[in-house]
Amino acid sequence: MTFNIGAIAIDRVEEAHGPAFPPDYLLPEWDPAVLEEHKDWLFPRHFHARTNRFITSLHSWVVRTKHHTILIDTCAGNHKERPHSPLFHMKDTPYLERLAAAGVDPGQVDFVMCTHLHIDHVGWNTRLDNGRWVPTFPNAKYVFSKTDRDFWDPAKNPSLDEEARQIFADSVHPVIAAGQDRLVAEDDQLDDNLFIKGAPGHTPGQIMLQAKDGGQEGLFTGDAMHHPIQVYQPRWSSRFCTDPVQSADTREKILGHCADCDALMLPAHFGAPHAGRVRRRGDGFTFAFEE
């Protein structure tokens, strides 16, 4: 399914989709009572009853404007040593073939935007070439939040654990070494229709991409939300958030903005059909997927 924001075309390229984390692992404040309350939409597309796990999608968004082709978040990647994260360890998926099926050759990508530098958002930044990690998209500028890049750079943050250091070494540093990185801050602009917005909390410098054209808006929210249940429970932050309170504050701001502006929300991990509209309901929000 292709989504449209005015003349901007948006396609999803999948790396993986299916049961992932148990809800009480992903969301430490999880209350099982919500299963009954929201069963009309949770099952079967967003909760896998047999394994008691959330359905999670791992995908990139391909955004095509009249000027540029942009790839947002590059999933986990192939052949990456991730022994501490079995879901992402030594994957071997046909991601590049799926990208080609969406009509995109790696050499045609103008920007690769990483909303943040977590394990499942930077993997396809690089590929193995004769034993070396090289940028997968040879003509692209890779867009990193300066705040986020500095936080995840072992040279600037010596407290990082072994896995975070490895992620930076094989999926971020080769891009910097090739001179293909572009550091941005909130309210920077990629082209006439694409704007950088801050979304801190999940990581210190997480960013979003706002697309605007023809009076319409889309918002690529990264990991400000991992699962649609967080639309209904916006104070529930994931265990992977560096600042859960700030993450919840950011989430509430995003939901309010999307509801008030009728912006199409395009998160990084929602199950099918992956994107939708936020509506206000009383003091809270509901979500309507774009079918």
| 260-265: average pLDDT | 98
Q: Tokens at residue 29, please? A: 């404040």
- Per-residue confidence (pLDDT) for residue 216, from 0 to 100: 98
- Per-residue confidence (pLDDT) for residue 37, from 0 to 100: 96
- Per-residue confidence (pLDDT) for residue 71, from 0 to 100: 98
Q: Tokens at residue 151, please? A: 């936080």
- Give the CA dihedral 215, 221, 226, 227, nearest 10 degrees: -10
Confirm if 68 and 267 have CB atoms less than 8 A apart. no
Confirm if 252 and 234 have CB atoms less than 8 A apart. yes
| 112-141: average pLDDT | 98
Helices (H), the chain: 23-26, 33-37, 39-42, 95-101, 146-152, 162-171, 173-177, 229-232, 244-261
What is the C-alpha to C-alpha distance for residues 70 and 64, in angstroms, rounded to an integer? 6
- Per-residue confidence (pLDDT) for residue 156, from 0 to 100: 97
Q: Tokens at residue 27, please? A: 């969301």
| 26-51: average pLDDT | 97
| 214-237: average pLDDT | 98
Residue 256 pLDDT class (50, 70, 90 cuts): very high
- At 266-280, the pLDDT tens digits run 999 999 999 999 999
What is the C-alpha to C-alpha distance for residues 128 and 135, in angstroms, rounded to an integer? 9
- Per-residue confidence (pLDDT) for residue 183, from 0 to 100: 98
Whole-number mean pLDDT of the chain? 97
Confirm if 199 and 254 have CB atoms less than 8 A apart. yes
- At 52-102, the pLDDT tens digits run 999 999 999 999 999 999 999 999 999 999 999 999 999 999 999 999 999
Angle at 107 between CA 2 and CA 79, to 5 degrees: 90
| 244-268: average pLDDT | 98
Residue 208 pLDDT class (50, 70, 90 cuts): very high
- Per-residue confidence (pLDDT) for residue 148, from 0 to 100: 98
- Per-residue confidence (pLDDT) for residue 225, from 0 to 100: 98
- At 104-123, the pLDDT tens digits run 999 999 999 999 999 999 99
- At 150-188, the pLDDT tens digits run 999 999 999 999 999 999 999 999 999 999 999 999 999
- Per-residue confidence (pLDDT) for residue 8, from 0 to 100: 98
Residue 34 pLDDT class (50, 70, 90 cuts): very high
- Per-residue confidence (pLDDT) for residue 240, from 0 to 100: 98
Closest CA to 203 of 129, 143, 121: 121
Closest CA to 73 of 137, 154, 29, 4: 137
Domains detected in the chain: 3-289 (3.60.15.10)
What is the C-alpha to C-alpha distance for residues 76 and 170, in angstroms, rounded to an integer? 12
- Per-residue confidence (pLDDT) for residue 38, from 0 to 100: 97
